[in-house]
Structures are given as structure tokens and as C-alpha cells.
Amino acid sequence: MVDYITDGLAAAVAMDEGETAAPGQPKTHEGILSSARAIFRDLNERGSRQRQVLEDYLVDTSDWQLIVTGHSLGGGLACLLTLMFRKEFPTTKGY
């Protein structure tokens, strides 16, 4: 059911200035952006285990790279999360 709601929020909305590594304020699908922001916020919560893993493997080690993938609705999420994570982790790849 949540996927239907996310898909239904189909208005094109501008991302916040500086929210991504992309220049300006890219426009995107409102529902996917809302979901991407929630996931990004959860993964970046200071002191969380998820954030610690990101720091341990992507900041402290140059041998690791963040790769974000998805299919269908998850593909849209992967694209937005890739842009968001590239601000801090420039080598992030999205597929």
C-alpha cells in the first residue's frame, strides 16, 4: 500500500538548494523524494550504527565505495540517494 501512495504523489517538486551534489535545484517525483529523504535521514542519524558503518568504510578507508541500486520505484530512490550521498561521498555510484 505504501508503494501506491508513494507512486501517487507524482507532482514534480524541486529539491532543496544544496541537498544534492547536482547543481541548482533539480526537480523530481514528490513521492520518491519524500521516501529518499526519510532513508537518507535514517542512514545519516548521528550516533547510529548505519552512520558508523558509512564513516568506517567510506571515510576512513579509500578502498571502499558506496553503490546504490534499485528497480522500478527503488530505481528512482537509488538515483536520488546517489545524488544525496555524493555530497559527502563523491565516488558514490547509482545503478
Query: What is the SS3 assignment for 27?
Result: strand
pLDDT digit string, tens, across residues 28-71: 989 999 999 999 999 888 778 988 888 888 876 777 889 999 99
pLDDT at 18 over 70: yes
Q: Is the dihedral of CA 24, 30, 32, 36 positive or negative?
A: positive
Please state the pTM of the whole predicted model: 0.82
What is the structure's pLDDT at 6?
Answer: 61
- Model confidence band, residue 20 (pLDDT cutoffs 50, 70, 90): confident
pLDDT at 1 over 60: no
Q: How far is CA 68 from CA 8, 9, 22, 51, 77, in A?
A: 24, 23, 16, 15, 9
By the 8 A CB rule, do 44 and 52 touch?
no
